[in-house]
Structure 1
Amino acid sequence: MIIRNMEEIIGSKDETIAENGNWASRRMLYRKDNMGFTLTETIIKAGTKTHIWYQNHLEAVYCISGNGRVETLVDGKEDGNVYHIKPGIMYALDKHDEHNLYGGTEDMRLICVFNPPLTGNETHDENGVYPVLED
């Protein structure tokens, strides 16, 4: 059995914070845990914009507090699809969807699942991509 305490994750090596401060990813399960996925709690700061394009991972996201929106992109340009995110909304990037994630009027608290699982050292590159890393 694996037990992790969020209070111990915050501020530790298991919390990755974006260089620009837009988000914090608190990683609870990693590839080394052999569960077949990664589980995170991610905080998206209010009023921010983050470009994300998980070319190497699938992600499901469930909002438990706060608000924001997702705008999908095609060839790096907004395609007119906007999805408002609030508690109770889940979205899944099942086609490696390129998108901008906007924090709304208050910080969003999201529970995220990644497949393949993360090693724990990933951060977005210049294209919003998490690379596939070896342990």
Structure 2
Amino acid sequence: MIVRDFNKLQGTDRHVGDAQWTSTRLLLADDKMGFSFHITVLEAGSEHTFHYKHHFESVYCMKGKGSITDLATGETHEITPGVMYALNLNDKHTLRAEEELHMACCFNPPVAGNEVHREDGSYAPAEEVA
């Protein structure tokens, strides 16, 4: 059994980010669960373009307000508490935080924890990170 306290991970190597977002990584690849689980906070007014070419991601909004735009179709969806989106086609997207967004995120394959977004908005494939 794995038990971790979100609050105790602040300030550790499992808490990453920059001035516009933070990600607390509760489960990582070395936990051998087949997915990683993160709590991500996006700062109000921030905008992020991501393209997880090598990962599938599902995201559940717990707090805040924003929107996500599918860059292939131009379709925009409102993000509010209770809304989930899944990037089942490795969808390139732009996420906007009108208010501070608190999101629960799962990645498959799991991230190792030291990934940073590359210039194209993706994470490196798992085999390059290992």
TM-score by length of 2: 0.95
Q: Tell me the alpha carbon deviations over residues 78-135 of structure 1, each in whole angstroms, 9 at most, x when there is no partner.
A: x43001000000000000000111011x200000000000100011111100112433
- Structure 2 CA distance, aligned partners of 1:118 and 1:16? 13
Number of aligned pairs? Answer: 128
Q: CA RMSD in A?
A: 1.0
Structure 2 counterparts to residues 45-84 of structure 1, below 5 A:
45-74=43-72, 79-84=73-78
Where in structure 1 do 4 or more consecutive aligned residues deviate above 4 Å? none
Alignment match, 1:99: 93
1:4 maps to 2:4: yes
Where structure 2 has 5 or more consecutive residues not aligned to the other structure, the ranges are: none
Q: Normalization by structure 1: what TM-score?
A: 0.91
State the percentage of identical aligned residues: 38
Q: Report Cα offsets for 1:3-26 as digits up to 9, x if no partner.
A: 1111111121101113xx211111
Give the match for residue 44 of structure 1: 42
Residue 129 of structure 2 corresponds to residue 134 of structure 1: yes
SS at match of 1:80: coil
Q: Distance between the aligned counterparts of 1:89 and 1:13, measured in 2?
A: 29
Contact 2:115–2:129 (CA<8 Å) still a contact in 1?
no
What CA distance in whole angstroms lies between the structure 2 residues aligned with 1:4 and 1:85?
27
- Contact kept, 8 Å, 1:16 with 1:123, in 2: the verdict is no
Deviations 1:41-74 (A, max 9, x none): 0001110111100000000000000011001113
